[in-house]
Amino acid sequence: MHISIQQDPGGRVRTIAEDHGAMQNKDIEVGVETTAGHDLEASRSHDHGGDFVTHLENKNLARGLQQRHIQMIAIAGAIGTGLFLGLGGSIQTGGPLGALLGYATVGLIVCVVQFALGEVAALLPVTGSFVRHAEFLVDPAFGFAIGLNIVYGNLLSVPAEISAICVLFEYWTDVNPAVWISIFILLTFLVGISFVGIYGEIEFFFASLKILLVFFLILLGLVIDLGGIPGQERLGFRYWKTPGPFVEYIATGAWGQFLGYWAVMTNAVFSFAGVESLAMAAAETQNPRRNIPKACKKVFARVLIFYVLAVLIVGMIVASDDSRLDDYTGDAAMSPFVIVASAAGIKAIPSVVNAVVITSAWSSSNQALLSGTRVLYGLAIKGQAPKIFLRTSSWGVPYVCVIFNTCFMFLAFMALSNSAMTVFWWLVDLTAAGVLVSWSCILLNHIRLCQAMKTQGISRTELPFHNSWTPYASPVALFMCIAILLTGGFATFTKGNWDPASFVSSYLDIPLVIAAFLLWKLIKGTKFVNLADIPIREALEEVSKHPEPEELKRTGWRRVVTFLWD
């Protein structure tokens, strides 16, 4: 173990113990009170108003997330009900080729978003990620609006996922759903209140299960398609010819086929939701300037491959007009993989898929809790939420934020009086809209960073992580995100398809974000940050003052075993 002593810009002396590349920070405070209020003032006075990693984050949060954790957290968030249960609906709406193109389009947007996030997060690895970046690069009111939107979205996401778990258990048992709701509220709370490394290990395990199941289902689908199951004929690309590669949606002809492809976008966005949250706990991640960009680069590729292969295989083994896709029970029975496996006489598949989808839903609720609590903590650092949310446990967990979020989990009991799947499918539209707002924020942050560096004459090569093509790709991806957001509920505007619930769930996020932005701007009188005034040089100096240790390259069998996250 090597021990060194450093002094940071806030004047604190830190002892840094390096053990096999892991850094454990211990602060030595001299004559400083430890109340949340005093710490907040110290943070804001010494850390550029909370724009950089603050005194509070270094002192009170624990760096318990390793590189393998954040890689798998992002994968775990993106592989869930959207993949296991939602692909059938996408095939119905857009046809095999329309669905494939829809997921590929959103996958490319995710690629740009991930690289944009990696570039900004490597420069500013702060709790709350792109919410704090928005205040630094755009406008404090914009950061507040985005942060409030994420907190609100995650407050609703956790109970919605728990309500979905109730439906999934109904596949096996008639036990009162209140039992499952109570159990999973307790489990989610325990994970949220524990050391963040425990959350990382749980997500690592669940992600591994999901990846193994996806590999298995893709191989199974390929075997079924090629006629490898006794008694089953070879399918090939039969369903691409009849009923055809595209499905007409609302309209007819080429326009109807295009609308089918475009309607898949919302489902695809919902499916990819979660990949942007890997940087939310940057201040709790070891060596974030190296590990977060690395995760951003590799996670998108793995997730995109999983989805593109899965959509391709599903489009080959299930016809878009198959009546079995009309099963909206919400359990494994509606999965296209289960439909085909059951027809082939493989009885164990439905229960296996149902079990993994349950872990997926719980994994999503854990991730929503982490994201919501860390954004709330970040808002409190900036003085945009009550100071009580800055309180942390001895494990470095913002426990008041966790308790606040837990109170909203009891909304899951609405599933007892309303259709749990009705609640869950509303979430698809609500989540997709919220995710598109978040992606747009990430892209706008990146565009502003590029513009500020150009204005100040700073080369992008000075960034800890940069790519030559991202300044051109971010504006295109931002346009696509806004276009999908504004047209997400287009079906409700067509003749005979008006549905108030669908309209509200598709567009509620837009007025909420605008209202929060205008409210904070009027109350605080904030202004858009001048490009010339953004302290890019100071941020780069922070990077040079606190270099991260070089990564040890794995060799031999260890490299093979860790290929998913290393």
Query: What's the pLDDT score for residue 483?
Result: 94
Contact predicate 360/80, CB 8 Å: yes
What does the pLDDT average to over 544-562?
65
Residue 23 falls inside a structural domain? no
Measured distance CA(171)–CA(358) in Å, rounded: 11
Query: What's the pLDDT score for residue 304?
Result: 73
Q: If you average pLDDT over each of 37-51, 114-128, 494-508, which comes out highest? A: 114-128
At 3 the three-state DSSP class reads strand
CA distances from 399 to 193, 389, 393 (A): 6, 8, 6
Query: What's the pLDDT score for residue 201?
Result: 87
Query: What's the pLDDT score for residue 449?
Result: 95
Q: 539 Cβ partners below 8 Å, 6+ apart? A: 51, 52, 123, 124
Output 47 or 221, whichever has higher pLDDT: 221
CA distances from 200 to 191, 231, 247, 358, 363 (A): 10, 44, 41, 18, 11
Q: If you average pLDDT over each of 288-297, 373-382, 438-447, 489-498, which comes out highest? A: 438-447
Number of H helices, E strands in the chain: 21, 3
What does the pLDDT average to over 125-147?
88
Contact predicate 402/373, CB 8 Å: yes
Residue-by-residue DSSP string for 346-358 = -TTHHHHHHHHHH
Residue 335 falls inside a structural domain? yes
CA angle, 149 as apex, 65 and 362 as ends, to 5°?
Answer: 50
Query: What's the pLDDT score for residue 557?
Result: 60
> In this predicted structure, which of 39-43, 141-145, 487-491 has the lowest mean pLDDT?
39-43
pLDDT at 451 over 70: yes
For the chain, give the mean pLDDT. Answer: 79
What does the pLDDT average to over 33-41?
44
Residues, the chain: 566
Structure tokens at 542: 């922070």
pLDDT digits 0-9 by tens, 210-260: 888 888 888 888 888 888 877 778 888 889 988 989 999 998 899 999 999
Query: What's the pLDDT score for residue 522?
Result: 92
Peptide bond into 243 cis (omega under 30): yes
Contact predicate 107/272, CB 8 Å: yes
Query: What's the pLDDT score for residue 31?
Result: 33
CA angle, 172 as apex, 188 and 324 as ends, to 5°?
Answer: 110
pLDDT digits 0-9 by tens, 79-118: 766 677 778 888 989 999 999 999 999 989 988 998 999 8
Pairing of strands 22-28, 2-7: unpaired
Q: What letter would DSSP give residue 17?
A: E
Measured distance CA(532)–CA(520) in Å, rounded: 23
Residue 431 falls inside a structural domain? yes
pLDDT level of residue 273 (50, 70, 90 thresholds): confident
Q: What percent of the chain has pLDDT over 90?
A: 24
Measured distance CA(224)–CA(346) in Å, rounded: 11
Measured distance CA(255)–CA(261) in Å, rounded: 10
Q: What percent of the chain has pLDDT over 70?
A: 78
Query: What's the pLDDT score for residue 215?
Result: 84
Handedness of CA 457, 460, 461, 465 (dihedral sign): positive
Residue-by-residue DSSP string for 390-428 = G---TTS--HHHHHHHHHHHGGGGGGGTS-HHHHHHHHH
Nearest to residue 100, comparing CAs of 274, 298, 302, 316?
316
- The DSSP element (H or E) to which 148 belongs, if any, is helix 140-169
Query: What's the pLDDT score for residue 58?
Result: 59
Q: 390 Cβ partners below 8 Å, 6+ apart? A: 36, 39, 40, 56, 60, 377, 380, 381, 398, 400
Residue 547 falls inside a structural domain? no
Measured distance CA(473)–CA(523) in Å, rounded: 35
Query: What's the pLDDT score for residue 9?
Result: 35
Query: What's the pLDDT score for residue 122?
Result: 87
Measured distance CA(376)–CA(445) in Å, rounded: 19
At 428, give phi and psi (nearest 5°). Answer: -55, -50
Measured distance CA(536)–CA(78) in Å, rounded: 32
Output 334 or 150, whichever has higher pLDDT: 150
Query: What's the pLDDT score for residue 8?
Result: 38
Contact predicate 17/23, CB 8 Å: yes
Residue 140 falls inside a structural domain? yes
CA distances from 390 to 64, 193, 226 (A): 18, 14, 57
Measured distance CA(135)–CA(535) in Å, rounded: 12
Query: What's the pLDDT score for residue 268?
Result: 86
pLDDT digits 0-9 by tens, 213-227: 888 888 888 888 888
pLDDT at 438 over 60: yes
Residue 556 falls inside a structural domain? no
Q: What is the amino acid identity at position 409?
A: M
What does the pLDDT average to over 447-462?
94
Q: Which structural domain, as residue segments, surrounds residue 110?
A: 33-49+72-525
Which CATH number fits the domain that encloses residue 91? Answer: 1.20.1740.10
pLDDT level of residue 16 (50, 70, 90 thresholds): very low
Query: What's the pLDDT score for residue 556?
Result: 61
Query: What's the pLDDT score for residue 189?
Result: 94
Measured distance CA(416)–CA(166) in Å, rounded: 9
pLDDT at 393 over 80: yes
Measured distance CA(206)–CA(362) in Å, rounded: 9
Q: Provide the CA 169 distance to its chain's centre, in angstroms.
A: 25
Residue 64 falls inside a structural domain? no
Query: What's the pLDDT score for residue 63?
Result: 65
Number of Cβ within 10 Å of residue 8's Cβ equals: 18
What is the number of structural domains in the chain?
1
pLDDT digits 0-9 by tens, 274-296: 777 776 766 667 777 777 887 77
Output 425 or 254, whichever has higher pLDDT: 254
Residue 1 falls inside a structural domain? no
**Left (φ > 0), alpha (ψ -120 to 50) or beta: where does 518 sit?**
alpha
pLDDT at 424 over 60: no
Output 517 or 488, whichever has higher pLDDT: 517
